[in-house]
């Protein structure tokens, strides 16, 4: 008996595959169908538990290169059908997203599955993707962005953990990867039986996928770290880069974690435009030992210290005085609208369903889950925010003499 999935709230039909099905989907761990959404196209998201942290030593960039090659080869195979595929390779996941005409999604999916899991790596596609990735790597490698990304990721994972290694490798590691290496990596890591699929706009697919009983949600109760830390790298650059990360309680539930991320984002955004603030991104990161909310900002060096204090003060204020009453209602209302609008794009909905299934075996009914969050549970989760880890890269705050 293989994996099963459940139905929550009636808007998602979730099925596990009982056997390979002709031309549609193969032997996948989970398949979730978003049946409550009308759309003019069909979208399938294939979620694999393979990422840059699986790259063999000395061959960093393998997962990225493979994702680029296989999406390239799939698009070539789909040419003339209107269907297209894109790949996003993360530190621990690879997601292929296919958008296709509704009346031809089955055939397009069969093509995608054939290329992704079976077709040989084509040398021309390898060289094309390697050249493109090497160029990107060389460009980014010479900028502070690469240093910042590497060091900031290092703070979120245990020392020497492969999760934190540069996801795209470097020109040397990319040059060393052969088609045989990629083939081997794919054979070992790309397994339908450990992949999930999210479908939107395909109909409920009951005619091709057997339905089985829901699987229990695994209990997750870990935290990314228990001790805060601060790391500074002085570099002669024109901007200051800051990453401030807080470990989140995993047992809070995914929707609540996303809500907290939204609240942190609202709290740290300056109320009035700040000319010294060049960019700010707040995101939820699945670090190796637990979820983390990370605030990354680029500011004028002279404003770095103030920005750091302001951000940490805002997050502390949120934890100490969580939104309650009408403020909570408004915040939840904003969050619900933002998430629903995001999911109104079928590619986002399919990707989220696939990710949910991979994470917990169950795809969420977002409306119900968001509505189920109350101010008390939110306050409890915010109270469990851990000690921050802070990374600073920029001109030495003590001046040129150090």
Q: Which residues bind another protein (CB under 8 A)?
A: 11, 36-41, 80, 82, 99, 101, 103, 201, 330, 333-338, 340-341, 343-346, 366-367
Helices and strands in the chain, H and E counts: 12, 11
> Minimum distance between the CB of residue 336 and another protein, rounded to whole angstroms?
5
From the CB of 211, what's the least distance to another protein, in Å? 20
Q: How far apart are CA 347 and CA 97, in angstroms?
A: 7
User: CA-to-CA distance for 216 and 6, rounded, in angstroms?
Assistant: 9
Enumerate the H helices of 118-235 as residue ranges. Answer: 123-141, 144-154, 171-175, 179-189
Nearer to another protein, 54 or 274 (CB): 274
Q: Minimum Å distance from CB 14 to another protein?
A: 16
340 versus 383: smaller Cβ distance to another protein: 340
Q: Are 166 and 59 in contact (CB under 8 A)?
A: no
Instruction: Look at residue 26 and give its three-state secondary structure.
Output: coil
Question: Nearer Cβ to another protein, position 96 or 259?
Answer: 259
Of 182 and 260, nearer to another protein (C-beta) is 260
Residues in the chain: 402
- Rounded to the nearest whole angstrom, what is the least distance from the CB of residue 206 to another protein in the complex? 17
Q: Which is nearer to another protein, 140 or 274 (CB)?
A: 274
Q: Which helix (H) or strand (E) holds 310?
A: helix 304-320
Question: Could you tell me the smallest distance in angstroms from the CB atom of residue 341 to another protein?
Answer: 6
How would you list the strands of the sheet with 240-247, edge to edge? 229-234, 389-394, 240-247, 290-299, 277-287
Nearer to another protein, 87 or 331 (CB): 331
Cα–Cα distance, 164 to 243 (Å, whole number): 15
Mention every residue, 6+ apart, whose C-beta is less than 8 A from residue 210. 15, 16, 17, 18, 19
Given the complex with another protein, which of 39 and 300 has the nearer CB atom? 39
Instruction: Closer to another protein by CB, 112 or 242: give it.
Output: 112
Q: Which is nearer to another protein, 283 or 333 (CB)?
A: 333
**Interstrand relation of 229-234 and 389-394 (parallel, antiparallel or unpaired):** parallel
The minimum distance between CB 365 and another protein, in angstroms, equals: 10
Question: Taking the complex as a whole, how short is the minimal distance between the CB of residue 101 and another protein, in angstroms?
Answer: 7
Contact, 357 vs 47, CB < 8 A? yes
**Cα(67)–Cα(64) distance, rounded to whole angstroms?**
5
CB of 339 to another protein, least distance (A): 9
Tell how strand 290-299 and strand 277-287 pair up.
Answer: antiparallel
List the Cα angle 157/190/167 in 5-degree steps: 35
CB 241 within 8 A of CB 281: no
Q: Is the dihedral of CA 213, 216, 217, 218 positive or negative?
A: negative
* Residue among 103 and 207 whose Cβ is closer to another protein: 103
Minimum distance of another protein from residue 315's CB (angstroms): 21
Q: How far is the CB of 367 from another protein (least distance, A)?
A: 5
């Amino acid at each position: 008996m293989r994996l099963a999935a459940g139905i929550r709230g009636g808007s998602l039909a979730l099925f596990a595959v009982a056997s390979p099905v002709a031309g549609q989907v193969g032997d996948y761990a989970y398949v979730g169908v978003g049946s409550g959404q009308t759309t003019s196209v069909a979208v399938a998201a294939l979620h694999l538990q393979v990422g840059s942290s699986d790259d063999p030593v000395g061959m960093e960039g393998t997962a990225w290169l493979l994702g680029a090659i296989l999406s390239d080869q799939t698009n070539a195979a789909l040419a003339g059908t209107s269907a297209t595929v894109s790949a996003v390779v993360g530190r621990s996941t690879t997601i292929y997203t296919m958008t296709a005409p509704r009346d031809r999604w089955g055939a397009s999916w069969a093509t995608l599955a054939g290329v992704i899991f079976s077709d040989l790596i084509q040398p021309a596609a390898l060289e094309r993707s390697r050249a493109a990735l090497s160029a990107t790597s060389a460009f980014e490698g010479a900028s502070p962005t690469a240093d910042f990304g590497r060091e900031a990721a290092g703070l979120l994972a245990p020392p020497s953990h492969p999760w934190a290694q540069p996801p795209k490798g470097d020109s040397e590691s990319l040059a060393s990867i052969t088609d045989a290496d990629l083939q081997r990596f794919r054979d070992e890591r790309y397994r339908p039986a450990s992949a999930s699929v999210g479908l939107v706009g395909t109909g409920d697919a009951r005619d091709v996928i057997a339905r089985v009983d829901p699987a229990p949600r695994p209990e997750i109760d870990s935290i990314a770290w228990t001790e805060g830390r601060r790391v500074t790298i002085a570099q002669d650059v024109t901007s200051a880069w800051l990453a401030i990360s807080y470990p989140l309680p995993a047992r809070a539930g995914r929707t609540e974690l996303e809500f907290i991320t939204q609240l942190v984002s609202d709290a740290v955004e300056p109320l009035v435009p700040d000319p010294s603030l060049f960019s700010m991104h707040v995101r939820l990161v699945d670090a190796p030992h637990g979820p983390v909310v990370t605030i990354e900002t680029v500011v004028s060096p002279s404003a770095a210290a103030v920005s750091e204090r302001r951000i940490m003060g805002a997050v502390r204020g949120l934890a100490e005085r969580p939104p309650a009453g009408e403020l909570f209602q408004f915040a939840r209302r904003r969050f619900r609208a933002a998430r629903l609008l995001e999911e109104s794009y079928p590619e986002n909905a399919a990707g989220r369903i696939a990710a949910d299934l991979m994470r917990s075996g169950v795809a969420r009914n977002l409306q119900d889950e968001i509505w189920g969050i109350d101010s008390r549970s939110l306050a409890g989760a915010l109270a469990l925010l851990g000690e921050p880890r802070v990374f600073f890269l920029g001109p030495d705050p003590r001046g040129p003499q150090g």
